[in-house]
Amino acid sequence: MPETVKLRFGEAVNAALRRAMETWPEALLYGEDVAKPGGVFGVTRRLRNDFGERVFDTPISESAIIGSAVGAAMMGRRPIVEIMWIDFTLVGIDQVINQAANVRYVSNGALSAPLTIRTQQGATPGSCAQHSQSLEALFAHVPGLRVCLPSTPQDAYDLLLSAVACDDPTLVIEARGLYAGEREEVVIGGPIAPVGGSRHRQHGSDLTMVTWGATARTAAQAAQALAAEGISTDLIETVWLNPFDTDAVLSSVERTGRLLVVHEANVTGGFGAEVIARVAESGVALRAAPGRLGLPDLRVPAAPHLSAAVLPTADRITDAARRIVAGTPVFCR
Amino acid sequence: MTSHQPAEIGDLAAMQRIRSFEEKTRELSLARQIIGSVHLSIGQEAIPVGACAVLQPQDAVFATYRGHGWALARGVPLAPSFAELLGRSTGLNGGRGGSPYFSAPQYGFFGENSIVGAGAPIAVGAALAARYDGSGRVAVVSFGDGATNQGAMHEAMNFAAAFSLPVVFVCENNTYSELTPIAEMVGEPELWRRAAGYGMPGSRIDGNSVTTVRDAMAAAVDRARAGEGPSFIEAMTERLVGHYIGDVEHYRPAGEVASAWQREPIGRLERELVAQGVTEAVCRAAVQQAADEVERAVAEALAAPLASAEDVKEHLYA
Ligand SMILES: Cc1ncc(C[n+]2csc(CCOP(=O)(O)OP(=O)(O)O)c2C)c(N)n1
C-alpha cells in the first residue's frame, strides 16, 4: 500500500534500496563501506542488519565491483552496486562500457546484465578536481546503458526502483549536494514505473529550460527569479538521459520558440549539445538561437571561491535566459 | 642546542612540523576557514619523515590524498602549503589543487592523488624516465592498505618488477580503508607477502619508528639506485584521527584510538631519546620550535589575498 512519508534525498534512496531488497530476493547490494558503516553518506544505513549477507562491503576495487555485478547479473542475480563518487567509475569503466552494456546485444538477446550502479556527482564547495566531475554525457553516449539523474527525494526513490526493475544495466547518478537536504513528502510503496520520461517542473511560454541532476534545483530558482521580471519559463527536468524524452522537449520548444539547456558538466561534448542537436534536427522553428550553460571547459578548481566563479549559478542561468529572450546568443565558453 | 645531539632530534622536529601543520589545519577546517575535503595523517608522520630522510633532490615522491606529511618531509615550505588550503594567491598550486593535490616538483614532490592507487603507475613512469635521463632518480610512491586492492597497483608492481625499475612502493598500513578494516577485505592480511609474487623484496616494518622506516628505505633506495629493481615496504601504523575531518569513527572499537596514542611516533621517539640521555628540555625545544614555525606560517598565509578568479581558466593547456 502506498504511503506518504517525509524523507530527505538520501533517506529516499535508502527507502528505495530497502524496497528493492524486499521485492527482489535475487537483489544484492554492495560497494565500498556500504554495509557495516552504512555508506560514507549514510545512505545505506541499517540495510546490512536487515538483509544480512545480501548486503556487503567490498575491497577498493571498482573494476571488480562492477565486473562482478556483470557476472552475477548474467547468472540471475540483480546486483545494485555503489561507486562512491562518479569519478571512480572511471577506474572500472571497461566493465561498464565494454562489458555490461554489451552483454545483451552481442549475445543476440540470449543474455542480459540487469545491474544497477548507484553513484553521485556534482561539485560541492571545496571538493577537489577528481571529486567534482559531471560525467553523464560519457555514459549517455553508450548504447545499451540506461542513465538517470534524480534531483528530488521522490525521484531518488522512484528512479532507483525503476532502475533495479529494469533488465538493462542502469546508471543512477545521484547528487551529493542533495543527500542531506530538506525532508520532503515522498510517496513510497506505489507502482514502479518503467524507465524513461521527464518532469514538467514549471509551465511557461517565453523560454524552454531543460536541465537535470545537480542543476535542476538551481534552474528552478532561476525560473522563479525570471518570473519576477516577467520572463515565463517552461522548465523541463529530463531525469532520464537514456531513454531521453525528446518529445517533451520538442513540444515545449514548439510553444516557446526558445531553448536554454543547463547542466553542470563541461560544455563541450556535454549532453546539452545533444539536446540542442535534437531540436535542430526536428526542424522546430526557433525565435532565437538556443543556448547551453554548463561549466566552461575546465577542471574544477579546489578553492571554493574559484569554483563558485565558474559553476552555473542561479544568476548565471537567469543571465543566459535573459540573453536568449533578448535574442543575444549565449556563449558560455 | 649542542653539536653532539643525535640526528633523531631532527626527525623529532620534522615529525612535529607535520603534526602541528595538521593540527592547525584541522582547527582551520573546523572553523570553516578551510572548505572541502582534508585527510590528516596524524599518527603516521614517521613514515614520510623516515622515508624522505634517505632521498636525494632528484628523487620523485608521489603520495595519496593523505600526503601533507610527504610534501612537508620533502621540504615543501609551510606557508604556501597553508595558503593552498586557504585558497590564497600564494598557494602552492594557486588554489586549484587544495589539500588532496599538493604538488611542488621543485622539491621532488610530484603530487598527491585522490584516486586510490593511481599514483603507483605514475611513479613507475618516473622510474622509467630515469632509465633514459641518467638522473639516477628513484621514485617513491606511498599508498594505503586499501589501495593495494586496486588493479592499478598490481599492474604497476608487475611492470616495475618486470623491468627492474627503481621504484619503492611504500604501503602505509593504518589498518583501515576509509571506514572498513583491511583485514576483512583481503585473503592475506600480510600485504608485504604479495611482493614475492611479483619478484621483488617485500618487508613489513614498524611504521611508527622513524629509525626503522629510515633503515628500510635506505636499503630499498640503495637497491633501486643500483639498478636492482623495486621493493615493497609495508609500514604498520595507526591513524589517530578520522578518515576525514568530521568522521565520528563509529566503526572503530572503543578504546582503539586512545590506545594508539600510547604508540604514536612522536612521543615514542621522545621517550627513546630521553632513554639515550637526551634531556627532555632538548626534546621539548625541538618540538616547540617546529610548532612556532607553523604558527608563523599560517599567519603569513592568512595575510595573503585570495587567489584571483580572473585567471581561473589558465593552466589548462601549454
Ligand atoms: C578509486 C577510488 N575509489 C574509492 C575512493 C574513495 N576513498 C577515498 S580514501 C579511501 C580509503 C583508502 O584507504 P587506504 O588506501 O587504506 O588509505 P588510507 O585512507 O587509510 O590512508 C577510499 C575508499 C577513491 N578516492 N578512489
CA atoms within 13 A on the CB side of B291: 7
CB pairs under 8 A between A and B: 121
Residues in chain B with CB shorter than 8 Å from the CB of A297 are 316
Our answer on whether the CB atom of B180 is closer than 6 Å to any ligand 1 atom is: no
Of B153, B177, B186, B244, best ligand 1 pocket probe by most atoms within 8 Å of the beta carbon: B177
| Cα–Cα distances in angstroms (integers) from residue A179 to residues A49, A155, A182, in the given order | 22, 12, 9
Pick left, alpha or beta for residue A307 (phi over 0 → left; psi -120 to 50 → alpha; otherwise beta). alpha
In tens, the pLDDT along A3-45 reads 999 999 999 999 999 999 999 999 999 999 999 999 999 999 9
Of B39, B64, B116, B245, best ligand 1 pocket probe by most atoms within 8 Å of the beta carbon: B116
Question: Which residue has its alpha carbon closest to ligand 1 atom 18?
Answer: B144
B116 CA distance to ligand 1 centroid (A)?
Answer: 5
Out of B250, B307, B313, closest to residue A303 by CB: B307
Residues in chain A with CB shorter than 8 Å from the CB of B91 are 303
Beta carbons of A126 and B177 less than 8 Å apart: no
pLDDT at B288: 96
How do strand B176-177 and strand B180-181 relate by DSSP bridges?
Answer: antiparallel
Which alpha helices (DSSP H) does A92-215 contain, by range?
A: 93, 103-106, 136-140, 153-165
Q: A277 and A247 in contact (C-beta within 8 Å)?
A: no
Our answer on whether the CB atom of A62 is closer than 6 Å to any ligand 1 atom is: yes
Cα–Cα dist A12/A6, whole Å: 9
pLDDT at B1: 44
Q: B232 and B192 in contact (C-beta within 8 Å)?
A: yes
pLDDT at A236: 98
- Residue B7 near chain A (CB below 8 Å): no
Our answer on whether the CB atom of B115 is closer than 6 Å to any ligand 1 atom is: yes
Calculate the CA A194 to chain-centre distance. 16
Nearest ligand 1 atom to the CA of A130 is: 25
Beta carbons of B316 and A298 less than 8 Å apart: yes
Active site residue A131: yes
Residues (pLDDT < 70) of chain B are 1-4
pLDDT at A280: 97
Nearest CA-CA distance, residue A330 and chain B, Å: 19
Q: Please tell me the pTM assigned to this model.
A: 0.96
pLDDT at B28: 98
Nearest CA-CA distance, residue B25 and chain A, Å: 14
Residues in chain A with CB shorter than 8 Å from the CB of B99 are 128, 302
Please, which residues 157-176 of chain B have a Cβ atom closer than 8 Å to chain A? none
Q: Which residue of A has its CA nearest to B146?
A: A60
pLDDT at B4: 66
pLDDT level of residue A121 (50, 70, 90 thresholds) = very high
Three-class HEC string of chain B = CCCCCCCHHHHHHHHHHHHHHHHHHHHHHHCCCCCCCCCCCCCCCHHHHHHHCCCCCCCEEECCCCCHHHHHHCCCCHHHHHHHHCCECCCCCCCCCCHHHCCEHHHCECCCCCCCCCHHHHHHHHHHHHHHHCCCCCEEEEEECHHHHCHHHHHHHHHHHHCCCCEEEEEEECCEECCEEHHHCCCCCCHHHHHHHHCCCEEEEECCCHHHHHHHHHHHHHHHHCCCCCEEEEEECCCCCCCCCCCCCCCCCCCHHHHHHCCCHHHHHHHHHHHCCCCHHHHHHHHHHHHHHHHHHHHHHHHCCECCHHHCCCCCCC
Q: Which residues contact B118 (CB under 8 A, 6 or more apart)?
A: A91, B150, B152
A189 CA distance to ligand 1 centroid (A)?
Answer: 36
B178 CA distance to ligand 1 centroid (A)?
Answer: 6
Q: A279 and A255 in contact (C-beta within 8 Å)?
A: no
Nearest CA-CA distance, residue B94 and chain A, Å: 9
Beta carbons of A301 and B99 less than 8 Å apart: no
In tens, the pLDDT along A46-77 reads 999 999 999 999 999 999 999 999 999 999 99
Could you tell me the three cell numbers for B223?
637497491
Beta carbons of B149 and A59 less than 8 Å apart: yes
Residues in chain A with CB shorter than 8 Å from the CB of B250 are 37
Residues in chain A with CB shorter than 8 Å from the CB of B154 are none
In what helix (H) or strand (E) does residue A249 lie, and over which residues does it extend? helix A246-256
Of all residues in chain A, the percent with pLDDT exceeding 70 is: 99
Calculate the CA A58 to chain-centre distance. 24
Could you tell me the three cell numbers for B225?
639506485
Q: Which residue of B has its CA nearest to A87?
A: B115
Provide the residue count of chain A.
333
pLDDT level of residue A100 (50, 70, 90 thresholds) = very high
Nearest CA-CA distance, residue A33 and chain B, Å: 6
In tens, the pLDDT along A193-206 reads 999 999 999 999 99
Q: What is the mean pLDDT of chain A?
A: 97
